[in-house]
Amino acid sequence: MLKLVKHPDPILKQQADPYEFGLEWPSADELEDQMLDVMMAEKGIGLAANQVGLLKRVFAIKLSTGRSLCMFNPKVISTSEKTQDGDEGCLSFPDLWLQISRPLEVVAEYFDKNAQQCKIILTNIDARCFLHELDHLNGVCFTDNVGQLKLALAMKQQQQRKSNGRTKR
């Protein structure tokens, strides 16, 4: 069974390799089931394979429609020029919240668990989540997207929440 990896585990900073259908263990079907289980158990809306100790280009995502799936070998085709700042958290960085600027729309391609190529247009929170998880596959954590001062302030707030017994923002 897969388990969540937390910062500062070095696997979070490593780039994932392509997922090769039919040659990998666990199978795409099993991997999707296990990743979705971990994501739901942790009450997340996204989970990259390196967050469960696998360096494969796969992530689980729960779309705003309620549909959950894994995207294998995802890639961005295009993004909107318009961006928006928004709160982001990460299962591997419990109780840490940062304001990150991301494009409002992403056109992406990926393979589903049946090795079928898919194209999708994602907007708002779905686009934000897709890009956050894709960053993970490239060895980029959301903490890398802000300056040191902003990160230090957020970490101070994180510690205050923990010392006050609050775990949610």
Question: Residue written as tokens 């230090």?
Answer: 152
53: left (phi over 0), alpha (psi -120 to 50) or beta: left
Q: 40-76 burial, b for 16+ CB within 10 Å, e for fewer? A: eeeebbbbbbbbbebebbbbbbbbeeeebbbbbbbee
Annotated catalytic residue 133: yes
The residue annotated as part of the active site, out of 30, 42, 88, 133, is 133
Question: Rg for the chain (alpha carbons), in Å?
Answer: 16
The residues assigned a catalytic role are 133
